[in-house]
């Protein structure tokens, strides 16, 4: 099929590349000329495992191309996907100006029937507004259908998630639009759930909020484990062995971050309040998440006494491993606070350094070339992102290079028994601290 994707960010680029990889002809549209030029030259503006190979393979096969023209995309496709940003506003609501702008631009060039698919994460009833806008600005009176097709991609494994989805949700009213969408997803061999547009839009916010709730739940349990001497990892294993619950997203740590969970939870709270059905449970999820970071910093202060003039190394800047995304990263928040309190902070991240250098709040930090270089002379090490590189580092060398072997593991990445044998002063989340005698 001939498809176009408007917006070439994480969702749009991965979606377009994977659609091309199963045989569709795809045009990726973006309003940033520099991004389009970069993509046309074969340079991928984001780090996502496997993405570069998929893009290059399909550009070479002439199934994937890039343009800055929405008219080009609409004219040469049967189905048009909208995958533009929906940033959070100060009050927690979603900024839909990019969606509205694209809807108007599509309407202005729409000459024949098209299916317009909302791939961006949007509040319920957005599809109705998109349809109204296209109808209002559609100069040629062309027929169209609006579909909601939410994405469920995890950064760091987005290509794998799109190629092997748990489910595909199609929210539509038109049987013709549903048939076209099923044809697009036929190569993916995944269960398809067909709903109305409003239900499809709600599914994405409800799913992300539930996952964030699981994270905050185990983080709240981790505080009880610390107070009682229990091990949160064992507790999570015992909970997760229940097939009704599952082990995923029951990893205690310093809290969730990224471009999805914080934004989507805030949006869902606002949506529910606007509909007159307050979702107070999600406010507690937010509170627990913020508290977890504060508890971690409190423990660091109690061990080091004061942070001023202390030399602290931080491993990890991205909000999760296997991505270069630092948006709403808890690691960045920790570095910001330590710098604010007068600490001398040295940071290292396998993929997030370039973007982190642009963050004003951590400009005073020193950027190291490796994990080992970061800990040189450090009085404490903070593990803020669970990169496999950090799990496999030579810990004996780490101890040798540190001024004092104190480690605060915010992701429970390292093994307490190993740290004890090596003589580290080791703190993690929801597990007993290792304090050498």
Which are the catalytic amino acids? 260
Nearest 5 degrees, angle CA 182-CA 183-CA 184? Answer: 90
Q: Outline where 69-196 has alpha helix (H).
A: 70-75, 97-109, 126-137, 158-163, 175-185
Distance, CA of 381 to CA of 57 (rounded, Å): 41
Instruction: Please state, in angstroms and as integers, the Cα–Cα distance from residue 246 to each residue in 205, 218, 288, following that order.
Output: 20, 12, 21
**Residue 281 burial (CB count, 10 A):** 11
Residue 381 phi, psi dihedral angles, 5° rounding: -120, 130
Instruction: Give me 367's structure tokens.
Output: 């950027």
* C-alpha span between 94 and 64 (Å, rounded): 31
Rg (CA), the chain: 24
User: What is the C-alpha to C-alpha distance for residues 138 and 110, in angstroms, rounded to an integer?
Assistant: 7
- Residues forming beta bridges with residue 194, ordered by sequence position: 170
Helix axes 280-304, 197-228, angle to 10 degrees: 40
Two structure tokens written together for 200: 């499809």
């Amino acid at each position: 099929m001939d498809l176009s994707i408007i917006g070439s960010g994480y969702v749009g680029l991965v979606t377009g590349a994977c659609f091309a990889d199963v045989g569709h002809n795809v045009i990726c549209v973006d309003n940033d000329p520099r991004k389009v030029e970069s993509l046309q030259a074969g340079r991928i503006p984001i780090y996502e495992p496997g993405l570069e190979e998929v893009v290059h393979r399909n550009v070479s096969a002439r199934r994937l191309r890039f343009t800055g023209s929405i008219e080009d995309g609409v004219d040469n496709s049967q189905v048009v996907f909208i995958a533009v940003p929906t940033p959070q506003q100060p009050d927690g609501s979603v900024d839909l100006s990019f969606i509205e702008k694209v809807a108007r631009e599509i309407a202005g060039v729409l000459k024949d029937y098209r299916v317009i698919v909302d791939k961006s994460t949007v509040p319920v009833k957005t599809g109705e507004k998109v349809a109204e806008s296209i109808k209002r600005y559609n100069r040629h009176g062309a027929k169209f259908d609006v579909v909601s097709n939410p994405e469920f991609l995890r950064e760091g494994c987005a290509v794998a998630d799109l190629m092997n989805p748990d489910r595909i949700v199609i929210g539509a009213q038109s049987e013709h639009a549903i048939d076209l969408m099923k044809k697009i997803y036929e190569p993916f061999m995944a269960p398809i759930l067909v709903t109305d547009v409003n239900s499809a839009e709600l599914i994405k916010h409800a799913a992300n909020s539930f996952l964030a709730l699981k994270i905050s739940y185990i983080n709240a349990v981790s505080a009880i484990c610390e107070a009682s001497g229990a091990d949160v990892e064992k507790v999570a294993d015992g909970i997760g062995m229940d097939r009704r619950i599952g082990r995923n997203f029951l990893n205690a740590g310093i809290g969730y971050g990224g471009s999805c969970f914080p934004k989507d939870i805030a949006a869902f709270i606002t949506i529910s309040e606007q509909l007159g059905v307050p979702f107070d449970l999600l406010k507690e999820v937010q509170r627990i998440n913020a508290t977890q970071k504060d508890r971690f910093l409190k423990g660091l202060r109690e061990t080091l006494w004061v942070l001023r003039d202390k030399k602290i190394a931080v491993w990890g800047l991205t909000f999760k491993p296997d991505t270069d995304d630092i948006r709403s990263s808890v690691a960045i928040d920790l570095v910001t606070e330590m710098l604010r309190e007068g600490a001398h902070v040295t940071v290292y991240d396998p993929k997030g350094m370039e973007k982190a250098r642009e963050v004003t709040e951590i400009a005073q930090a020193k950027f190291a070339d490796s994990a080992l270089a970061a800990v040189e002379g450090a009085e404490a090490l903070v593990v803020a992102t669970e990169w496999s590189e950090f799990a496999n580092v030579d810990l004996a060398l780490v101890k040798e290079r540190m001024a004092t072997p104190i480690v605060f593991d915010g992701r429970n990445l390292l093994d307490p028994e190993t740290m004890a044998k090596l003589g580290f002063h080791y703190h993690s989340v929801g597990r007993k601290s290792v304090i050498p005698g």
